[in-house]
Each structure stands twice: as structure tokens, then as C-alpha cells.
Structure 1
């Protein structure tokens, strides 16, 4: 029997996800799933219902939801990455073959270290480098502009550099598979490799795009602040941390506009740099990697009680509008 196209999902319901080690995590409005290619060749999946901050009212409040999504992207990403690494390397499994629980203290410690790294490298670092220009009496406008450019160069350079590592390149292939699978679902195509293959590996809701928007919004925000307030290096550094929730909130609202009005030529033009950056963070996947992305997407749909997946010949249940929240990032 020919594969059936699924009914179109409601316009305000989105699926996102992340690539992990030898796998893909897909996140829906209230559920998430991780699928990982086991070293023996089969695919291992895990799904769960989300609650608390991941589905709460804060995800519906403009500006605040950007901060929530940024946090959950890191938190869920770390959990999925931990799960995938233990499957991929066959480490710390229980009697059922499932990875052992990730200690909560270790989880928050890892998150804290990640935040320190981000703040130190991408925020404090550019300030200190740009401030060297003060030694040659450079104008404040020049110093602030150089800081923003240095931050952008560090961000793009970091992504380019890690992409040279073979294992990271495979993660980027799974990233492409995740995007292509979400494209196919949103286009009401059956979730099979041959139908997914023609879709682009780039997606406007990509988390990389979100980070790039954050870099640009931060550049403008900090530029204005430094022109209005001149209180020295310590205040400038502190302002970068204090304003980050505002920057994240504005950036996410911009990303929502791109997702909703992507067909508009002006909005499309605004997001050309985002799509261009994904040439570094996504690579063309092989069929096996697309199969893993499909397995993750199926597991998320099934966990949400959405019935047969799009290639099935049964009825594909429409998701209730009550599940809709701010869209997750790809």
C-alpha cells in the first residue's frame, strides 16, 4: 500500500531537536525522544514526557520564553548527549540495557562549567581584547564595534574549527538528518528515507541560527549601552551578563518571526546569514543517519499519542491546540 501523507499539523505546533553522538533528539510541545545508533547496528530509542519549565506558562510569555528556550536547549541537550554517549560507547547500562541515571549534581556542575566557558570566551574575552585599543586612545565607538566583530569571529571560527574533527562532522551529519526529517513532516511527506532525502539540511529554526541572532542582537544592544554609559571595564563586563536574558528574549522573538513569515522576501533576506552559517553546522547525512532521525521523530509522536506515523496507513491524529507552546529550536 502506498505511503499516506499525514494531515497538516496546526500552524502553531512545532517540532525541534538536536544532534547528539550517533543520534538525534526530537522535542515536541510536551514530549522528547532520543534515538541512537548502537555500535552493533540497531537503533536504541528513549522517550519521555516533559513538565515543569519545559511546558510551563513561561514558555508563552513574549521575551521571557526566549530565556526559557535557551536554558532548555542546553539542559535537554546535555541530557540527550549524555544518553547518546553511553549508548554509543556501551557504558554504564543497567540490567535492562538502559544508560544509568546521570547524577543531578554532575549535571548541574557540567551546566555551570558550560556557562562559565561561554561567558568567559564569548563575552569577557572580546571585551578584554577590544579594550587593548584604549591603550592607543581609540574612540569608544571603535572599541565597542571591534568587540562585537571579535565576538562574531570567535563564534564562527569556533564552529568552523570543531567541524574539522571527524566525530563532530558526524554529529553535523545527524544535525542535517534532523532538519530534513522535520522539513518532511512539516511538508506532510511520509517519514521514509526516499521522501526525506530531497529536503534541505538547513532550517530557519535551527539553534545555530538562534545563537547567531543572539550575537547580532548583543552587538547592537551593547553598542547602544556603551555609547550611553561610560563606566569602565568592570561595568561593561557586568552589563554583558546582566543584559543576556534581554538579548536572548529579543533574539528568540526574531527567530519566531522568521519561522512564521519565512515566505516573505524581506524576512527571508534577513535570515540569509543564518542559513549560510548552517553550511558549517550541518552536513549531508547518509541513509542510516536519516533512519535514526526518523526513529527519534516516530518515538516523539508516539509518546505524544499521535498514533501511526506518516508512512502508516492508519489515521494520523491531529495534535490538540492546547499542546502548542513557543516552538523548540532545531
Structure 2
């Protein structure tokens, strides 16, 4: 077990659940640990300095929040890709093992003999080995990661910016809280639809942006709640709980052991779930200053302001985290803690062991703990 002094516990650690494993991040390194079906824990670890170490301006307030978020997304997708590869390789290995067992027990009739007993004798058939497919080149993996980030950003923009804005506008028009568009008699369906979504003219922009934000939060909660019913996602949520329990164990200065981690809470105030809830609250406030009649302009400005929203949210969490016992921090993290009752589930000992292994491997690359 990695032995650490109390002063070393000042290192801020975090992580992410992946497929049958956990990724742990320390200030200048990360490690991923995944458990295979045979019980083996596969790990990978690498130094990963913050971008602000190389580009000092990315360490400025607000800017550092956006930089941290983008780097975290890239690392998260990299960790998911690693765990998916291990999972697929494990499945293939299980399939090959099953095929070998079938071939070993299958009776094969051999031609060219009259001995009935020999005809029924089991014969092991050696099948030609398949050549391992060439591993994707590093450049291909990087392109895949970039593609995943672009897809994730596009999906989130559609679900959490475009859809809430359109639905809120239609709802306000239907309720009489916004000016209804003028539609010329005999207009096509497309022209009528365009008239309803082309302009936004609410009677109260404050109310409009508040409802828009609430719809966005509703979508987020429903998405998380729906995902919790999927078996594979529930396993990920269990590893999420293991990650939090391991982080708590570290922060309390306890030995990184399954016994110590088991007794810890699985809801952590600095979880990414809490951060996302703060992002949505900040977005409601910041988007309230947007008052453009044109729908497309509202969308463009909202998308353009997202880095600022992320940066401000990061600074709020950063400031509040310095006073974890304060009322402000508790109020701000309360929605996220409540949502973690869904996004984290109680892990078993083997899952905790994986999370501890990931953190231990990452700590080995830290100068303070090496």
C-alpha cells in the first residue's frame, strides 16, 4: 500500500467511473484500472500536467475553468475508450475460450477407418489461428477522441440549449405569455413552423429565461434517471460510488484499503454532478441578459457564452470548496448531492479495490508521493 504523510493529503484528487473500472486523476498524473472477467485488474498510468503549467494564461480566473473542463472531457473520453477496449478484448477472449472447450469435447468422425470405436473417438481439431488485427495507430485513436468530443458537444448543445429554447418559446406562445406570430392564410406548413420558431417575443424575459433553465434541468434529471435503469450504466454508477468512497478515504488521511473505503459516503460535494448543477444555475442567471428577438441569435449567443458559464461555475465551486463547512457551499452542492443518489450506487469490495488501485497508480507518478 502506498504510504503517505499527512501533508501529502493536500493533493486534490478526483476521478471518473468507466466500463468495469475507474479513472483517477491527481494534480499531474492519471491512472485507469479495469477489472477483467477472470479477476485480473488491468491498469495504465501516465503523467498529465495541467495546460496552465505550459500556458500560464490558462491559469487566469474564469479561463482556467474552461481549460480544465475541456482537458477533463478529453481525458474522460480517453479513459472510456481504454475501458471499452479492455472490455471488448475480454469478451473476445471469453468467446475464444468457449469455442476451444466445444472443440475439445466434440466427437469428430475420422474417414478411412472401419473401427467403429475409433470412428466415435473424440479428435481434437486444430483450427488455424487468426492473426491479430493491427492495433489502431495513435493518430487514429486521437482522431477518434476528437470525434467523440465533437459529437458529445453537439449532442449536449442540441439537448440542453436548442431543445429547451424551442420548447420554452412554443410553451410561452401557447400560454399567451409571448406574442404569437402572424401567419398568412394559405402558408405552407414549413412557413407556419418557421414563424413559430424564428422569433422570441416573451412578455417577460426574466420569466422566459427562468423557464428555459428549468426545462434544461428537467431534461438533465430525466436523462440521468432513465439511464439508471440500464444494467451496464448501473454498473458504471457503482464504480462511481467506489470512486467517491476512495477519494473520501484519501482526503481523511486513512490508509487506502477496502475496509476503510467501505465506511465512507458515496455522495461527494465536489463531484462533477454538482458542478453541472451549478453550471445550469449560472446559465439561468447569465442567459437572463440575452434579449434578442431572433431565435438563431439567441442560440449563437448562448453557445458562445458556455465557456464563460463553465469558467464562472468553476470559480464558484473553487471558492465555495475552500469553505466546505460554510452555508453557501452546502446550499450550492445540495442539488448535486441529491442527484448523486442516482448517479452513484453502493459498490462491492472488488469495485472498491479497482478504484483504490487506480488512485494508488496515479499517486506513484506524483513528485510529492513518488
Q: Assess same fold via TM > 0.5.
A: yes
Matched, 1:109 2:107: no
1:204-253 per-residue CA deviation (whole Å, 9 max, x = no partner) reads: 11111111111111011112x13xx3332111111110110110001011
RMSD: 2.5
Show the counterpart of 1:25: 23
- Residues in 1 aligned to 2:48 and 2:2: alpha-carbon distance in whole angstroms: 31
Show the counterpart of 1:263: 325
- Residues in 2 aligned to 1:184 and 1:99: alpha-carbon distance in whole angstroms: 38
- Residues in 1 aligned to 2:357 and 2:300: alpha-carbon distance in whole angstroms: 44
| Higher alpha-carbon Rg | 2
Relative to structure 1, is the Cα distance of residues 3 and 73 closer, same or farther in structure 2, using a 3 angstrom cutoff? closer
Matched, 1:201 2:266: yes
Show the counterpart of 1:170: 235
1:155 is aligned, of 217, 220, 245, to: 220
2:352 is aligned, of 256, 277, 290, to: 290
Show the counterpart of 1:236: 298
Show the counterpart of 1:146: 211
- Residues in 1 aligned to 2:42 and 2:367: alpha-carbon distance in whole angstroms: 20
Moved more, 55-64 or 282-291: 55-64
Relative to structure 1, is the Cα distance of residues 245 and 36 closer, same or farther in structure 2, using a 3 angstrom cutoff? same
TM-superposed deviation, 1:257: 2.3
Relative to structure 1, is the Cα distance of residues 149 and 220 closer, same or farther in structure 2, using a 3 angstrom cutoff? same
Q: Which runs of 4+ in 1 moved over 3 A?
A: 2-6, 91-95, 98-102
TM-superposed deviation, 1:266: 3.6
- Residues in 2 aligned to 1:214 and 1:3: alpha-carbon distance in whole angstroms: 36
Q: Which has the higher contact order (CA 8 A, sep 6+)?
A: 1
Gaps of 5+ in 2: 94-130, 178-202
TM-score by length of 2: 0.76
- Residues in 1 aligned to 2:25 and 2:34: alpha-carbon distance in whole angstroms: 15
Query: How many residues end up aligned between the 2 structures?
Result: 301
CA contact (8 A) 2:213 2:284 kept: yes
- Residues in 1 aligned to 2:16 and 2:58: alpha-carbon distance in whole angstroms: 19
TM-superposed deviation, 1:305: 4.5
TM-superposed deviation, 1:4: 6.7
CA contact (8 A) 1:39 1:89 kept: no
1:72-127 per-residue CA deviation (whole Å, 9 max, x = no partner) reads: 121000000000111122179999xx997452222211211111100011111100
Gaps of 5+ in 1: 308-316, 318-330
